[in-house]
Structure 1
């Protein structure tokens, strides 16, 4: 790909208005919805911009359709299109391919949840072919670029492209039209930076006093690293759990647009994201994917600053796989300090487990995981035990009893290699 002079292609408001006309019959004007619960919790006016209610359940349809439609007008899609995506961009591309009758090839990580694969197939309706490649978005992106160069298919970048940014920026125009009052804080989820760049493009001109806060997963904090370094930085490793925002390197174009206009970029722990997902489902009846809950999970870090302010959180998307529910619950409990794993040393005599339950566990503690093999040639044998607490503050007492009675061998929660086997 030719990356020269990318910064000369910075989108303008005129370009964004053109994109909005292209998208008029494609995207929904999604609800601008006040959250009574969150407003009360933070003593602020908390408004949710519900992009999870788009046809493909995320804002990604805006940029993908705008880009492909403009290529279509220029007769540059005769050999089809190709893209790389962890899921939501792929659905936007698939939607556009079917609507415009264009063949598309979509590279996705092998770790992509099955639900997202099925959604891409559904929206493409025979016009797209999925190729699973690599473990991360960046692996898939490199394969898609190679495919583009070999076969001449137009590469549809998920974020680092002017027309993609212009499409995402139409969301900013919509927000400003729907807002009754001046927006003090705008919370924006960030992966590669396409949406963030779109928000900056519009807000820096039409609402410059609005503080733009970017929220990204702590395990893939590539924008924060780039802002700190003053240039784009490629992370060596990332946590892929928040798959919709797990990017090793933000775009050069998106970074250039964002770097001087965002107020802050904060990292949100994956466990906090999971806690928020469950909370929004149980209390708001909203089904979100991890990336869709980023901005809501970030609010706690700004609780003091947003008090009494008008706050907008972009919520996108809702392509969550139900098979991930147990992992989401587990991560949330670990984050809240309610779930703990130990290697426990048991005497090899009858009744030792009963003694452990009666004298080590608290009245409301529960064993949720137990793996033990008796070895007759030893006086003691180890077991991996998962314990769920009713209150995080009960942990110190549990640990003290376990040590004083000789059961404690090691604590696993802080050992990533072991926890990867358990969670």
Structure 2
């Protein structure tokens, strides 16, 4: 799904009672780069042989996953907190985060010796929580609340307002945007040739707005493509609607890029400077995670795989071009590996779930195994239900195929021998209930 960005005038919009016209200034971005010296790593811009060959292009990876906190978020968080006055530092800070911003804030709090309270959604992977605790030490207090970033955000604002603390927004803040913009400065300085395309992941829009501003000012011919997960297209929807739009429901799997509403400042900048917003299915993201691990020895989180996942959609456009993909983070919990593999198989059409109705007679299961399944089909899930009739008994069966083209012949054999009950992959409500 593509949304073209119009050249709309974003100069005035409302934030509460505040009118703002913020666009990052190049001098402020360069000042942020100085602030981050010795704090944020100068991450490499690495050529990818595999992706360059696949797309007949010069594909380079900006490895923000190699930051000390394993994501670019350290840039904005430290730049913001370092800008606070002594009086503001004494009050302490509050933030909300799905994980990566929290680590950047925790690191900054410990380095600057400022007390911080960090609100995170309850489903945040344990690995990210432990990293926040490690980076923040005695200066970071973690509060788990709600199901999404937006739930954590609301809770953090209540505490912030009640106690008069300083709120460090994960994306909709001038200093945050200026800090994230330093990624763009580095790419331009590191590249030996003019860059044709930059693919940037979009959650709340802090990185995309900062980076796109730098290229607008220093390399205006470069096309900046924003990439969101298909299940959380908040920036895509907002640009399409020509107004910042809150999504009522989002898919939270790509937790580092899943928000219900993007920032007001970031929306205004992105709708002006991004060439396009595109989305990519979560299953495709999972396949990219596995490919990066197996072929590039790179560990990424779901948000970190977004930009490489979308290159297929631009295969014709980027041929022969210089392309940069932002690998935004590597905070992936190893306990999610099984889910990642499952989602990838479902996306590729290799994993299928059925309700199978086994005839209530001896040898029915052996018949199914020997005569219904193909020679390379593999049963990966089997849950037999209590017999409900004399004629047949249902079982939920998961089958992994070697080739997606084997699905229809399998279904045909089931139906011809009266085993077929329901195909579950295209019934999401029933699928989620049973699997």
- Return the TM-score normalized by structure 1: 0.98
Aligned to 1:193: 205
Q: Which residue, out of 270, 274, 281, partners 1:258?
A: 270
| Whole-Å separation in 1 of the counterparts to 2:34 and 2:217 | 20
**Post-superposition offset of 1:6:** 5.3
| Whole-Å separation in 1 of the counterparts to 2:330 and 2:318 | 26
Aligned to 1:43: 56
Aligned to 2:123: 111
**Post-superposition offset of 1:359:** 1.3
Equivalent positions of 1:10-409 (< 5 A) are: 10-71=23-84, 73=85, 75-375=87-387, 377-409=389-421
Distance change (3 Å), C-alpha of 1:2 and 1:42:
closer
How many pairs were matched up? 422
Q: Which residue, out of 416, 419, 423, partners 2:431?
A: 419
Q: Is the 8 A contact 1:52 1:318 kept in 2?
A: yes
CA offsets 1:60-98 (integer angstroms, 9 cap, x no match): 000000000001x45312111000000000000000000
Q: Is the 8 A contact 2:199 2:224 kept in 1?
A: yes
Q: Is the 8 A contact 1:6 1:253 kept in 2?
A: no
Contiguous gaps of at least 5 residues in structure 2: 1-13
| Whole-Å separation in 2 of the counterparts to 1:39 and 1:52 | 20
**Post-superposition offset of 1:316:** 1.2
Distance change (3 Å), C-alpha of 1:20 and 1:422:
farther
Distance change (3 Å), C-alpha of 1:408 and 1:333:
same
Distance change (3 Å), C-alpha of 1:74 and 1:256:
farther
Distance change (3 Å), C-alpha of 1:2 and 1:149:
farther
**Post-superposition offset of 1:245:** 0.4
Q: Is the 8 A contact 1:343 1:383 kept in 2?
A: yes
| Whole-Å separation in 2 of the counterparts to 1:69 and 1:204 | 27
| Whole-Å separation in 2 of the counterparts to 1:258 and 1:321 | 30
Contiguous gaps of at least 5 residues in structure 1: none
- Secondary structure at the aligned position of 1:57 is classed as coil
Q: Which residue, out of 21, 27, 32, partners 1:8?
A: 21
| Whole-Å separation in 2 of the counterparts to 1:177 and 1:214 | 21
Q: Is the 8 A contact 1:7 1:256 kept in 2?
A: no
- Return the TM-score normalized by structure 2: 0.95
- Secondary structure at the aligned position of 1:397 is classed as helix
Q: Is the 8 A contact 2:387 2:394 kept in 1?
A: no
- Secondary structure at the aligned position of 1:78 is classed as helix
